[in-house]
Amino acid sequence: MTIKEDVKKMKSAAPFLAASTIDDRNSALKLIAQALKENSEKIFAANKLDTDKAEADNISQAVMKRLKFNEGKLEDCIKGIEQLISLPDPIGHTTLSRDLDEGLSLYRVTCPIGVIGVIFEARPDALIQISTLCIKSGNCAILKGGKETSNTNRELFDIIHEAVIKAGLPEDSLLLAQSHAEIDELLECHSYVDLLIPRGSNAFVQYIMNNTKIPVMGHADGICHIYVDTDADRDKAIKVIIDAKTQYTAVCNAVETLLVNREIASDFLPILAKALKEHGVKIRGTREVSDMIEAETIGDDGFIEYLDLIVSVKLVDNVDEAIGHINRFGSHHTDSIITENKETAERFMQMVDSASVYCNCSTRFADGFRYGFGAEVGVSTGKIHARGPVGLEGLVTYKYKLYGNGHIVDDYASGRKQFHFRDK
């Protein structure tokens, strides 16, 4: 059976999953959490096959960090599922209730998107997060993970899929795509797939966007900034920068560019350079920066995403220049200001055009679990439908329900009746 045939079956199952009760969906999540714990040794064994092959293939350290799945990551996934269970049902919320006329009532009610295809990087925990979010929000999910974690993905999928069926949800709620060729076939399924969420390199995301008629949501790069203002608390700035760069380097919310106010540069840069060096971080900076501290010189095209222990540094005159740089060179993901000046902070928060904008805290907080969403299917830097870490709210849309009693439009077009539009 081809993936197109599988997806067609999934499209037929979608209304049944959408109509399931919150008790049924939460029951599935509880069974998933339990099954993951009970089968942890099988999962870790499958992951060892993947990591051993990756090491033999000399995979980069950034990718290796993503694909390793240990007890700590499993525990975090379980916590995410438990948090997800505690959240209210996102389906069936009435967001508008209006009488158009006597006996003619309009309601706007939240509902699942339907069939969602998520193509994600070599991160086994992503498969757990995506599948459980889709189940909770009543969406069918097509899952395609990176080939580097194919053994782990298959083991996790089989465990999760079995729990979903055991809970009484449709068998076709979940589908695992494994071969690279299936991606191109999936891109042609615009009659059956309602949304695609690609996670990966800029080139990969652009390829998906340019080769399908299916709506696409997501982000390409994670070029996150921290601006250290003239009114910054220096100790606070160092603490936040080190966390944002080193706590986990191989993720899209790690800081990649530091902007420092020129007024404090001569005092602050040496302190910053010492702290970064102690944590194994290499510095790349403009000529002005490399003249002041040890750093590789870069030009205006050097402010990129590293996903490694490397950071770019540039000096700016003020908060407005920092805002201008971020809006021009950033990826509109997550950007932070370090300052004790409330007025400057609010200007930065208002003017920076990013999905998440912070003051005096690490960019690493841009995460669905840390936002209390349970998990996330990804981060969206777009402005339509969902923005930032996409949790349950980003996985539902709405439909209008109109209840009448033989009402016809001609009565209103002819003037025999008039709308009165009263919100309930």
pLDDT at site 51: 94
* Inter-CA distances, 217 with 97, 101, 137, 385, 388, Å: 29, 38, 17, 9, 11
Is residue 323 over pLDDT 90? yes
pLDDT tens, position by position, 217-253: 877 678 999 999 999 999 999 999 999 999 989 889 9
Q: Are 121 and 146 in contact (CB under 8 A)?
A: yes
The mean of the pLDDT values for the chain is: 93
pLDDT over threshold 90, residue 408: yes
pTM for this one?
A: 0.82
As a whole number of angstroms, the distance between CA 158 and CA 35 comes to: 10
What was the pLDDT predicted at 72?
A: 94
Alpha carbons 178 and 180: distance in angstroms, whole number? 7
Q: Per residue in 360-371, pLDDT tens?
A: 999 999 998 899
Residue 228 sits at φ, ψ, to 5 deg, of -100, 110
Lowest model confidence (mean pLDDT) among 59-63, 122-126, 152-156: 59-63
Q: 361: exposed, middle or buried (C-beta count within 10 Å: 0-12, 13-18, 19+)?
A: middle
Asked whether residue 62 carries a pLDDT value surpassing 90, the answer given is no
Separation CA 66–CA 246 (nearest Å): 14
Task: Give me Rg for the CA atoms of the chain.
Answer: 24
**255 and 226 Cβ atoms separated by less than 8 Å:** yes
Would the CATH topology of 3-217+390-400 be identical to that of 224-365? no
Answer whether residue 214 shows pLDDT above 90: yes
Q: Which helix (H) or strand (E) holds 383?
A: none
Distance CA 242, CA 363 (A): 11
Asked whether 240 and 336 are in contact (CB, 8 A), the reply is yes
180, pLDDT greater than 90:
no
The percentage of the chain sitting over the pLDDT mark of 70, rounded to a whole number, equals 100
User: With bands split at pLDDT 50, 70 and 90, how would you rate the model's confidence at 1?
Assistant: low
Phi, psi values for residue 254, rounded to 5°: -75, 145
Residues 252-291: tens digit of each pLDDT = 999 999 999 999 999 999 999 999 999 999 999 999 999 9
Mean pLDDT check: name the lowest of 94-98, 118-122, 226-230, 399-403.
118-122
Q: Give the pLDDT band (50/70/90) at residue 385.
A: confident
Contacts of 347 by beta carbon, 8 Å cutoff, 6+ apart = 319, 320, 323
Helices (H) and strands (E) in the chain, counts: 15, 17
CATH of domain 224-365: 3.40.309.10
Name the amino acid, one letter, at 263.
E
The secondary structure of residue 78, as a DSSP letter, is H
The residue-averaged pLDDT of 154-159 equals 97
CA dihedral 255→260→265→269, nearest 10 degrees, is: 0
Alpha-carbon distance of 375 to 378, in angstroms, equals 9
For the beta sheet containing 94-101, the strands, ordered from the edge strand earlier in sequence to the opposite edge, are 396-403, 104-112, 94-101, 422-423
Q: Where are the beta strands (DSSP E) in 262-395?
A: 282-285, 296-297, 310-316, 334-338, 356-359, 379-380, 388-389
Strand partners, 196: 117, 216
Query: What DSSP assignment string belongs to 25-76?
Result: HHHHHHHHHHHHHHTHHHHHHHHHHHHHHHHHTT--HHHHHHH---HHHHHH
Sequence-separated (6 or more) residues with CB below 8 Å from residue 53:
148
- For the chain, what are the domain ranges? 3-217+390-400, 224-365
Homologous superfamily of 3-217+390-400 in CATH? Answer: Aldehyde Dehydrogenase; Chain A, domain 1 (3.40.605.10)
